[in-house]
Amino acid sequence: MKLSILLPAKNESKGLSLVLPQLKELYPEAEIIVVDDASTDDSIEIAKKYGVNVVAHPYSKGNGAAIKSGLRAAKGDTLVCMDADGQHLPQDIQKLLDKLNSGFDMAVGARNKKGQASIHRGMANKFYNWFASWMVGHNVEDLTSGFRAVRVNKFRKFLTLLPNRFSYPTTITMSFFRAGYSVGYVPIDVQQRLQGTQSHIRIWQDGIRFLLIIFKIGTLFSPLKLFFPISLAFFFTAASYYAYTFFTVGRFTNMSALLFTTSVLIFLMGLISEQITSLIYKETQGLETDI
């Protein structure tokens, strides 16, 4: 089984100088792909210096777009995605591969509390993990980790679903669960970001985007889990308001009728979405032969 290692990079010359020689030493037979997302430093030159495959974007498209470019270029059967900023240890790749080879379709490096960049991001990731776990019905230990090993043929089935920004881990994790693939987690240690480098994630903008992605994938995954609680909330609100107006003015009001109708419409929308979801994923399973 040929191994491909993918590193999306944007102005990560320092990280690449540290990570690439370690990867070349540990995995001399692996295909190493650096996708440069329009860096303004010498990231491309560093990558070429170590003789790895370089895919260069003519302009910045985002982390997810870099993953998609690397996925299209990968020739291996197994793909490892990792950050190029030195936070992920090349030595931990073997842990992911061992997990993958034990019967999983994707192995994800799960960060501990020390691996969170800040308290706010740690709290946000905890919420994302809880919400995703509820949506998929399985324990999601680290929804947004960018360090993972995956079977390429299965990853490519969801290529068109991946966003171009920083939410690709969220999308692919929930998509794998929806398709019934096995996802496993491996505890990893995350290193401090190298001095002189900075995160490209904007907490508020990308935090809201992450949340929207979860809702988007949630509606693709199991729409009724989103629509039914909302429908139920409208129903109980309508029932409560009807009880109030019945005992106060002795009649059924237009507002109660509107709330009951809204409850039914939302529930029906959930049922329709559930059917559409089944059709989408049925078609997605056939994409492998077309890519």
Three-class secondary structure of residue 54 per DSSP: strand
| CA dihedral of residues 134, 140, 142, 147 (deg, nearest 10) | -130
Compute how many other C-beta atoms are within 10 angstroms of the C-beta atom of residue 22.
14
**pLDDT value of residue 268:** 93
**pLDDT value of residue 198:** 53
Which residues does residue 35 pair with via DSSP β-bridges, in sequence order?
Answer: 8, 55
Please enumerate in sequence order all residues whose Cβ is within 8 A of that of 58, keeping only pairs 6 or more positions apart, or say none.
38
The whole-angstrom separation of Cα 262 and Cα 230 is 10
The whole-angstrom separation of Cα 200 and Cα 203 is 9
> Running DSSP on this structure, what letter comes out for residue 161?
G
The whole-angstrom separation of Cα 128 and Cα 113 is 15
**pLDDT value of residue 118:** 54
- Dihedral pair phi/psi, residue 106, rounded to 5°: -150, 135
**pLDDT value of residue 249:** 84
Q: From residue 113, how far is each of 13, 30, 119, 126 by CA, in Å? A: 27, 31, 9, 10
pLDDT tens, the chain, 291 aa long: 699 999 999 999 999 999 999 999 999 999 999 999 999 999 999 999 999 999 999 999 999 999 999 999 999 999 999 999 989 999 999 999 999 999 999 999 998 766 555 566 667 778 888 888 887 888 889 988 999 999 999 999 888 888 887 678 888 998 898 788 999 999 998 887 655 555 555 555 656 766 676 677 667 677 888 889 999 999 999 999 999 998 888 888 899 999 999 999 999 998 888 887 777 666 655 544 444
The whole-angstrom separation of Cα 258 and Cα 261 is 5
Please name the residue ranges forming H helices in the chain. 13-26, 43-49, 63-73, 93-101, 119-136, 152-155, 168-179, 203-221, 223-248, 254-284
**pLDDT value of residue 289:** 43
**pLDDT value of residue 288:** 45
